[in-house]
Structure 1
Amino acid sequence: MTRMGPLTLAWVSRHLEVGERIVRTEALHGGITADMRLLTIGTRGGTRDLVLRSFVNVEHAEDWLNREADALTLLAGTGVPAPGLVAVDPTAAHCEYPSLLMTHLAGRVVLDDEGWETRVPLLARQLVAIHAVRPAVRPREYVAWTTADTVVVPKGADAAVWAAAIEVIRKPAPPYEERFLHRDFQPGNVLFDVEPPSSAGPRITGVVDWAAASWGPADLDVAHCSTNLALLHGPAWGLRFAEAYEEAGGVLAADASERLYWRVRDGLACSEEVRQVGQPWREAGRTELTTRAVEERLDAYVTALMGELG
């Protein structure tokens, strides 16, 4: 985490209301690519919070921040609980680093195994709501995050199973109905109110990190969340999420081979960045999710996919 420089402080201050000032900054953990800070803003009546997202030496930072700013703008008023855009400096014209300033959402990320049977349906319903958004201006088409030639087969994996999985994504993408995608929808980007009124149960209070918002198949967002659930909570939860999505009213590809394509594509994409994927989870307390443990869960998940749908 880099220090918040004077140029950034001045830039943030210019976007505050008259009489407001920054009274405290706090580093937020859990991200992979960006520095995140919670800014406490002193107001005439007390305080309010903003979040600063800065990309330090990150390739394509301008593109990521422009995408996120566009997504937050189009989501305003849709009912999807996304942050509100305050300001963006995608080229670091005013700040030390490319940055985005947004409103702060209540709640916190929950990565524990306990209680996931009640939270998975909430995730599914939220994703259905995201896919129901019909923006006046479409975001750009999704970008595939792997190729058949860049997949990294985990140590000890069944070579025949992985070879078959790789062959799945060598084929052209199947036809699909286009939807608005978050593109990185997974438990690490969803905030929960974990202490709701007695009988209400948990609820989602926010969905963050819209830098990869795209236009593409609902199956791809479902596949990405499925992979993350499989790595966090075991392959069975990865297999379960597609069912939960459909139970919530979502529509996926009708053909099993088409579903397999998207789910295997996302699982294999994860093979290239297992170390990075597990890092924020370990920082959040899931220390048992070592790189090796995540690799083993990924292998088990891909094997299960090939057995169930392949």
Structure 2
Amino acid sequence: MNVGLEPRTTEWVQAALPPGHEITAVTALRGGWTSRMSRLDVEGPDTSYPLVLRSFLKPFYVRHAPGLLAREAAILRLLAGTSIPAPRPLAVDPAGETAAYPSLLMSLLKGRVDLTVDRSAALARQLVEIHKIAHKPRTYQAWTDPDRVRVPDRDTALWRHAVDLIRREPPPWEGRFLHRDFHPGNVLFDKNTITGVVDWVETSWGPADLDVAHCATAIALLHGPEQGMKFAGHYQEAGGVLGDEHRYWRLLDALGFAPDAEKVAGPWRDLGRTDLTPDVLTRRLTEYVAAAIG
């Protein structure tokens, strides 16, 4: 059976399936950066259904996979008892002891990623619901700090001022359950309805401001700085509560994308946003940082 997976991975998946069920096709899913995402079509007696396989192949993520995948599988099991539309975990091999690579097998959700339309209000409503989950995972980790920011070659005075504004201790915060990587690329839509939220490997405990800021930066890059600046308002209109020093978290997140947001740009271009060139993204990010500074 040639299904496009490593033999060890195929055997591991088959062992997780009910007797008589077999993988009949494997299709690469676009939009992933940290891992290989594959759709598996499965057939059994009188039934057929799709699954998703996440596998970490890059050495950095292979090293960290035991924590990342074990955490994601545990969170997905937790979310199964909530209203959050998340995948259902079926099997996990966090260290790649049986599969060829560290892997997580899960259900495939209806819908697709659509980066062409700004759906900030719907995203904000979903994020408010995520923040209501009564569970305390690990404390968040900042994804940049003042000494690691890669300042763009232009508008350096603006950028260095932004860096100076985060050169301090974080403001006091009230803890919430965070997705931690919530943005339009990790949300599935069927027309205008959210049908899935995916990629739960970074789930953390921290300020709601951090999730809001991360989604706002992505919206600014995808749809323009003005739209990104409006996202916090959408979140508050949906019932969410932010801290008194939201600017700190907004800048902390935006600076992590400097200088050109290339980490997300590649997957976004794969999903059809070929207009998001490095120059466009650097300009939007610079304008967004300027607006955040005020």
TM tier relative to shorter chain: over 0.9
The residue aligned with 2:167 is: 170
| CA distance in structure 1 between the partners assigned to 2:234 and 2:108 by the alignment | 29
The Cα shift of 1:55 comes to 0.2
The Cα shift of 1:132 comes to 0.2
| CA distance in structure 2 between the partners assigned to 1:77 and 1:151 by the alignment | 39
TM-score normalised by L of structure 2? 0.95
The residue aligned with 1:149 is: 147
The Cα shift of 1:250 comes to 0.4
Question: Does the CA contact (< 8 Å) of 1:161 and 1:306 recur in 2?
Answer: no
Structure 2: gaps (5+ residues): none
- 1:48-67 to structure 2, matched below 5 A, reads 48-59=49-60, 60-67=64-71
| CA distance in structure 1 between the partners assigned to 2:154 and 2:274 by the alignment | 22
- SS at 2:106's partner residue? strand
Q: 1:290 to 1:273 in 2, by over 3 A?
A: closer
Question: Does the CA contact (< 8 Å) of 2:113 and 2:189 recur in 1?
Answer: yes
Structure 1 position 79 matched with structure 2 position 69: no
The Cα shift of 1:180 comes to 0.4
* Letter matched to residue 289 of structure 1: L
Aligned residues: 288
Structure 2 residue corresponding to 1:277, chosen from 264, 285, 288:
264
The residue aligned with 2:199 is: 209
- The range that moved more, 266-275 or 9-18, is 266-275
Structure 1 residue corresponding to 2:215, chosen from 222, 225, 249:
225
* Letter matched to residue 105 of structure 1: L
Could you list the structure 1 runs, at least 4 aligned residues long, displaced by more than 4 angstroms after superposition: none
The Cα shift of 1:161 comes to 2.0
Identical-pair percentage? 52
Q: 1:273 to 1:183 in 2, by over 3 A?
A: farther
Q: 1:79 to 1:26 in 2, by over 3 A?
A: same
| CA distance in structure 2 between the partners assigned to 1:46 and 1:167 by the alignment | 59
The residue aligned with 2:15 is: 14
The residue aligned with 2:293 is: 306
Q: CA RMSD in A?
A: 1.1
* Letter matched to residue 11 of structure 2: A
The residue aligned with 1:199 is: none
- SS at 1:126's partner residue? helix
The Cα shift of 1:71 comes to 1.2
The Cα shift of 1:270 comes to 0.8
The residue aligned with 2:40 is: 39
- The range that moved more, 159-168 or 82-91, is 159-168
| CA distance in structure 1 between the partners assigned to 2:50 and 2:87 by the alignment | 12
CA deviations on 1:250-285 (whole Å, 9 max, x unpaired) are: 0001x2xx1010000000011167222210111111
Structure 2 residue corresponding to 1:192, chosen from 184, 189, 194:
189
TM-score normalised by L of structure 1? 0.91
| CA distance in structure 2 between the partners assigned to 1:214 and 1:76 by the alignment | 18
